Amino acid sequence: MQLDFSSLSARDAYSWMISTIVPRPIAWVSTISPDGVTNLAPFSFFQGVCANPPTLMFVPVNNRQGDPKDTIRNIEAVPEFAVNLVSHELGQAMSNTAALLPYGESEFATFGIEPAVSEKIRPPRVAAAPVAYECILDRIVHIGEGPLAANVVFGRILALHMRDELLGEDGLPDTRKLDLIGRMGGDDYTTTRDTFTMERPD
Ligand SMILES: Cc1cc2nc3c(=O)[nH]c(=O)nc-3n(C[C@H](O)[C@H](O)[C@H](O)COP(=O)(O)O)c2cc1C
């Protein structure tokens, strides 16, 4: 089969994309409003971008009314955020925070997620996250207009937090110990437990 994307609604294009671009890592993003209310939400349109300067990106799309999500509202007002990574044991807590809460109601408080103070930014990070990046906003690139249009957030990485026991013998993170999950299509997830090694050609 083949599919002409010019004939698809945004909703259908989204369904095809999230069922095929898999697995996707999950950025569990904490932000803060100008009056100090925290926000936490997961985003699986997420990737590292480059190391010079250290940069990552994630994509809160507009909601069904065509308005920006709380994460974007906060970052536009306070241009700092933490990207927390999600281990298998944090999966359910992460999923809870995708709930539609009124702006100004914190997912940390509502779902009993323990925050930890960040060093260089105002939003807290998730204390139990195996890895958390502290970032400042580099830029937001807007793609499209209306419902599901993108606000691509590029963040400059300032710092990383990780527990010492997650280090491997080579002094770098042991990705198996992080035990991260990824998002598949629909409500499906995958683990990172089944890995294999393949050497690159010279
Ligand atoms: C695993 C997972 C991945 C998600 N990925 C995205 C995404 O990449 N972009 C997006 O806009 N929403 C995504 N969502 C939905 C948002 O998390 C949801 O709309 C949330 O309420 C937004 O929160 P906010 O309004 O506090 O920013 C995802 C949800 C889950 C559970």
Q: Cα–chain-centroid distance for residue 133? A: 11
| Predicted confidence (pLDDT) per residue in 6-40, tens digit | 999 999 999 999 999 999 999 999 999 999 999 99
- For the chain, what are the domain ranges? 5-191
Any idea what the Cα angle at residue 27 is, between residues 22 and 28, rounded to 5°? 130
Nearest-atom number in ligand 1 for the CA of 45 is 8
**pLDDT given for residue 81 in this prediction:** 99
Pairing of strands 150-162, 131-143: antiparallel
- Second-level CATH architecture of 5-191: Roll (2.30)
What number of other Cβ atoms are within 10 A of residue 7's Cβ? 8
What's the confidence (pLDDT) of residue 16?
A: 97
Mean pLDDT of 102-129: 97
pLDDT in the model for residue 91:
98
Q: For ligand 1, which residues put their CB under 6 angstroms from it? A: 26, 39, 41-45, 59-61, 69-71, 95, 98, 100, 183
> What is the pLDDT confidence band of residue 198, given thresholds at 50, 70 and 90?
very high
Q: What was the pLDDT predicted at 129?
A: 98
| Nearest CA, atom 26, ligand 1 | 70
- pLDDT for residue 4: 97
CA angle 141, 100, 77 (to 5 degrees): 40
| Mean pLDDT score of the chain | 97
pLDDT > 90: what percent of the chain?
100
